[in-house]
Chain A
Amino acid sequence: MAECGASGGGSSGDTLVKSITLPPDEVFRNLENAKRFAIDIGGSLTKLAYYSTVQHKVAKVRSFDHSGKDTEQDHEPPYEVSVQEEITARLHFVKFENTYIEACLDFIRDHLVNTETKVLLATGGGAYKFKDLIEEKLQLTVDKEDVMTCLIKGCNFVLKNIPNEAFAYQKDAEPEFRFQTNHANIFPYLLVNVGSGVSIVKVETEDQFEWIGGSSIGGGTFWGLGALLTKTKKFDELLHLASKGQHANVDMLVQDIYGGAHQTLGLSGNLIASSFGKSATADREFSKEDMAKSLLHMISNDIGQLACLYARLHGLDRVYFGGFFIRGHPVTMHTITYSINFFSKGEVQALFLRHEGYLGAIGAFLKGAEQDNPNQYSWGENYAGSSGLMSTSPELCLTQRARSGTFDLLEMDRLERPLVNLPLLLDPSSYVPDTVDLTDDALARKYWLTCFEEALDGVVKRAVASQPESVDAAERARKFRQKYWSKLQTLRHQPFAYGTLTVRSLLDTREHCLNEFSFPDPYSKVKQKENGIALRCFQCVVRALDALGWEERQLALAKGLLAGNVFDWGAKAVSDVLESDPQFGFEEAKRKLQDNSGIDLILGVFPFVRELLLRGTEVILACNSGPALNDVTYSESLIVAERIAAMDPIIHSALQEERLLLVQTGSSSPCLDLSRLDKGLAVLVRERGADLVVIEGMGRAVHTNYHAALCCESLKLAVVKNAWLAERLGGPLFSVIFKYEVPAE
């Protein structure tokens, strides 16, 4: 992390650190092309946002130009794979203490290459104070933006774009964090921002919000009174004291007044009747911890009470809390949640945001980017580049926190295409893609984390092997290993760091890390080879299938779909026929086909699709937008389909007549989130009146969507290739899941 040239000052921004050595790929990443800066300067923390392009290596596939030639050449691959540079857009956010502002500005100035940016949008109370410094250092004009507007804009953005952004907190519950599914419609909602003071804002639409009330008893009160009473100067230290205190020594409780017989008032004896009520009568000194705790309760209860009164007046039942007073600190979240539950009798829910510290910076950024219309895009959290929740938690030992909490990062990738719900979901508002919640299920969590740790070596090897011409592949792979390993360790200790922990999120994190170190598609060459071999087998397999009787063929097709090696045990009938065919190099093919992706698509899915087409069914074939493991991508599928069409008239005419359509899912994951699908796919599903959904593979049909309820018939297929999971689900290894479901009436 950062080493300081001068010692950091106190929380009131006394001294500025003049120089720090920052490892560039750790903190201010992708800075050279950064444009559109926005900054949110609070009382003690600064959040800097910038928009930048990231160069990625992407494996692109392209058809060879055959111009009518016959494709029976053995050694020629079916298409060419080339590695190209692709530019994607990414939002970066960096959070650091105000003491480091000058040093950070210097760093940015020294590394920034792009000179197009002329304006920087600033918000937050501190924007006043540092305006001149910023203008001087970065040679930019600082435009001030209203802090509440930025906050709301930021809040809307995260609620809409980051899955599992909001959560409810319950101390001592299993799990402590309950992440909320994102609703399509987030309005209206109440946002209670607890900074120095409290602002209560009702947000009606994207652009309409109203300050409906507030309170002067907020974080500033806690800090100010706390400093006066306990002589503790730092906010986090006060919270730490509070977590150890016993407030009943300082507060007057109902039972202190009633001596136990409090039922007449209908109140519990433990309720605080008067905060600090005992500090007037006793002569003794009170401990710092007890006073801090009492103060925390006093303020949290007051905020909760007011929030409930406003919520009730406006008929709202969810209240989002943000602001530095909350800051993801467990004790504060607990007292606020308790207070809300108490004063609303359980009718109002207190919710917190994973990225609440960044709301202002996000909003300021969006304000400046309005002409680019960022809302037309979908965004995704980049797990490789984001620090995750609680990386600055004061619950960790103070010194450890001081070091690791110096810089906190959030990165969001701009996705090329907007993502929406699958129209066929029975109840989108309750849809949760993941089958197992690892934040909840400790045994499962331990298993999967270990599983991914153990698999890391193999992944690294494959990554290196996929780029044999590259000089630095080994070095990059080593960095990838380090990064992913540390993510796994973070998740071991803080499973909730990125929202709900699932097998999907572990897989996705791995993909993000691979991309990070320029391993966008380690399987591309393997897929290319497999596809080539599978294509050469296609016609034979189809002929063999056509030779079967109707019932035998249906069974063979179903087995072929199951991503198993069609020659081994899958479609025995098929392999029998092939075995007897002298022209078909059966043994050779069986030897060469290892990883099954080629078979999966070409020898499993396409014959199945062909059968459906023959029956008069229209088929939409949806594949991944981006590579994940060895799954076929949309671009690969286009080429494969083209090659198959050249061999098979049924597929050919279906493509021509648009009875067979190939689309992308919008996903770059081995799993599938049906609430975030490519809009094009959703539109097509609706237009064509799709009435059967087939989901194939462990990632898409078991780790996710196993319990997904659709409003049409569905088929979920997979072979369980993981022993632990098989046992969990109640069957032996290599069990087949072939789940046909009809929607309930």
Chain B
Amino acid sequence: MPAFIQMGRDKNFSSLHTVFCATGGGAYKFEQDFLTIGDLQLCKLDELDCLIKGILYIDSVGFNGRSQCYYFENPADSEKCQKLPFELKNPYPLLLVNIGSGVSILAVYSKNNYKRVTGTSLGGGTFFGLCCLLTGCTTFEEALEMASCGDSTKVDKLVRDIYGGDYERFGLPGWAVASSFGNMMSKEKREAVSKEDLARATLITITNNIGSIARMCALNENINQVIFVGNFLRINTIAMRLLAYALDYWSKGQLKALFSEHEGYFGAVGALLELLKIP
């Protein structure tokens, strides 16, 4: 951020515009810096407002003639998995799950009627942070690259590890994770896993948890379409497919997981729309 502000000053952004629409937490945090260093006045906008306006707008204009939204068919099957467009004909009510450093979950009832249902601190920042600590990686891309090669079942304790198979009493399949990082309680197992395995396990853990919370919120709010956005999902097909599968499996097909082509830009788009309103 400091580099960007410096660039703005160097390139004299302030001579182009005097109003700079900004949203997100940084709009508040860096407001002073923008003013004093870059001579730029920020017009702060509510982040969730922008997010929603952004999504609805982008969906309405579409993506090269196609729908902005899509879903996964057969998400668990690597061969058969397909990304299919989804027309958000009846967008309301919609559960919007924004996965950034942290997660915010919003229930949207109409263009101007929405509320923040809840959030969780186990988000993209957690995945990235834990990966850095566990594997020594330095970029998000690197973390994802490692995760794509790892085997989380070495790290996690599965239902079948405890019960020798499915736990029928509770209807739990043997492949379900009983305890994330549960195998890491044992010294031998800790020494037997690779960085890739750890990265994968971190990704799975965070993703499954978000899916779980989203599913419970959807149930409590009586909403059956859930859209996942946010930069955590950028180039992160593993997470998206996992969310799609988990939501479908645990809700017995009642919930649909939707995604969006431009997952991380809605806040900015929303802010832009506000700017365009200003004469």
Bound together, the chains give a CA A220 to CA B177 distance in angstroms of 11
Q: Most A CB atoms within 10 A — which of B124, B132, B184, B219?
A: B184
Contacting residues, chain A, for B31 (C-beta < 8 A)? 259
Q: Is A139 an interface residue (CB 8 A)?
A: no
Contacting residues, chain B, for A277 (C-beta < 8 A)? 101-102, 121, 123, 125-126, 129
- CB-contacts of A268-319 with B (<8 A): 271-280, 286, 291, 298, 301-302, 305-306, 309-310, 312-313
Nearest Cβ on chain B to A275's Cβ, whole angstroms:
5
Question: Given A252-B125, A257-B26, A280-B125 in contact, is the A148-B184 Cβ separation under 8 Å?
Answer: no
Bound together, the chains give a CA A214 to CA B162 distance in angstroms of 15
Nearest Cβ on chain B to A322's Cβ, whole angstroms:
16
Contacting residues, chain A, for B205 (C-beta < 8 A)? 216-217, 221
B122–A220 touching, CB < 8 Å? no
Nearest Cβ on chain B to A281's Cβ, whole angstroms:
8
Q: Is B47 an interface residue (CB 8 A)?
A: yes
List 26 A–B pairs whose Cβ atoms lie within 8 Å, in order of A's numbering: A11-B185, A128-B164, A196-B157, A196-B178, A211-B169, A211-B170, A211-B171, A211-B172, A213-B212, A216-B179, A216-B182, A218-B180, A221-B181, A223-B184, A225-B130, A227-B184, A252-B101, A264-B46, A265-B47, A273-B101, A274-B100, A275-B121, A276-B129, A280-B125, A298-B122, A309-B216
* Contact for B123 among A271, A274, A309, A343, CB less than 8 A: A274
Bound together, the chains give a CA A233 to CA B217 distance in angstroms of 36
Contacting residues, chain B, for A128 (C-beta < 8 A)? 164
B28–A258 touching, CB < 8 Å? yes
Majority secondary structure of chain A interface residues (helix, strand, loop or mixed): mixed
B29–A259 touching, CB < 8 Å? yes
Q: Is A744 an interface residue (CB 8 A)?
A: no
B209–A279 touching, CB < 8 Å? no
The residue of chain B having its C-beta at the shortest distance from the C-beta of A10 within the complex is: B187
Bound together, the chains give a CA A279 to CA B124 distance in angstroms of 12
Contacting residues, chain A, for B155 (C-beta < 8 A)? 224
A216–B126 touching, CB < 8 Å? no
Apart from A291-B133, A305-B120, 4 more pairs, CB < 8 Å: A196-B185, A217-B122, A250-B129, A257-B24
A257–B184 touching, CB < 8 Å? no
Question: Given A257-B29, A258-B25 in contact, is the A278-B129 Cβ separation under 8 Å?
Answer: yes
The residue of chain B having its C-beta at the shortest distance from the C-beta of A14 within the complex is: B187
A302–B122 touching, CB < 8 Å? yes
A220–B182 touching, CB < 8 Å? yes
Number of residues on chain B facing chain A (CB within 8 A):
62
The residue of chain A having its C-beta at the shortest distance from the C-beta of B217 within the complex is: A309
Q: Is A114 an interface residue (CB 8 A)?
A: no
Q: Is B183 an interface residue (CB 8 A)?
A: yes
Q: Is B134 an interface residue (CB 8 A)?
A: yes
A215–B129 touching, CB < 8 Å? no
Question: Given A274-B124, A298-B122 in contact, is the A228-B187 Cβ separation under 8 Å?
Answer: no
- CB-contacts of B95-147 with A (<8 A): 100-102, 116, 118-126, 128-134
* Contact for A233 among B172, B180, B187, CB less than 8 A: B187
Contacting residues, chain A, for B185 (C-beta < 8 A)? 11-12, 43, 196, 220, 223-224, 227
Contacting residues, chain A, for B101 (C-beta < 8 A)? 252, 257, 273-274, 277
Question: Given A258-B29, A313-B216 in contact, is the A280-B182 Cβ separation under 8 Å?
Answer: no
Number of residues on chain A facing chain B (CB within 8 A):
65
Q: Is B198 an interface residue (CB 8 A)?
A: yes
* Contact for B130 among A211, A279, A309, A313, CB less than 8 A: A279
Nearest Cβ on chain A to B119's Cβ, whole angstroms:
8
Q: Most A CB atoms within 10 A — which of B132, B134, B185, B208?
A: B185
Nearest Cβ on chain A to B200's Cβ, whole angstroms:
14
Q: Which residues of A contact B (CB under 8 A)?
A: 10-12, 43, 125, 128, 146, 148-149, 195-197, 199, 211, 213-221, 223-225, 227-229, 233, 250-252, 254, 257-262, 264-266, 271-280, 286, 291, 298, 301-302, 305-306, 309-310, 312-313, 343
B133–A229 touching, CB < 8 Å? yes
Q: Is B64 an interface residue (CB 8 A)?
A: no
Bound together, the chains give a CA A410 to CA B178 distance in angstroms of 30
Q: Is B43 an interface residue (CB 8 A)?
A: no
B133–A310 touching, CB < 8 Å? no
B129–A279 touching, CB < 8 Å? yes
Q: Is B190 an interface residue (CB 8 A)?
A: yes
* Contact for B209 among A213, A217, A258, A343, CB less than 8 A: A217
Q: Is B78 an interface residue (CB 8 A)?
A: no
Q: Is B63 an interface residue (CB 8 A)?
A: no
Question: Given A12-B186, A259-B28 in contact, is the A221-B180 Cβ separation under 8 Å?
Answer: yes
Bound together, the chains give a CA A211 to CA B31 distance in angstroms of 50
The residue of chain A having its C-beta at the shortest distance from the C-beta of B186 within the complex is: A12
B181–A274 touching, CB < 8 Å? no
A221–B122 touching, CB < 8 Å? no
A217–B26 touching, CB < 8 Å? no
Contacting residues, chain A, for B15 (C-beta < 8 A)? none
Contacting residues, chain A, for B47 (C-beta < 8 A)? 264-265
Question: Given A252-B125, A266-B116, A343-B118 in contact, is the A12-B187 Cβ separation under 8 Å?
Answer: yes
B126–A275 touching, CB < 8 Å? yes
A259–B25 touching, CB < 8 Å? yes
A261–B28 touching, CB < 8 Å? yes
Contacting residues, chain B, for A10 (C-beta < 8 A)? 187
Contacting residues, chain B, for A146 (C-beta < 8 A)? 169
- CB-contacts of B169-213 with A (<8 A): 169-172, 176-187, 190, 198, 205, 208-209, 212-213
B162–A125 touching, CB < 8 Å? yes
* Contact for A310 among B119, B162, B181, B216, CB less than 8 A: B216
B209–A215 touching, CB < 8 Å? yes
B126–A305 touching, CB < 8 Å? no
Q: Is B220 an interface residue (CB 8 A)?
A: yes
Nearest Cβ on chain B to A204's Cβ, whole angstroms:
15
Nearest Cβ on chain B to A421's Cβ, whole angstroms:
35
Bound together, the chains give a CA A43 to CA B134 distance in angstroms of 25
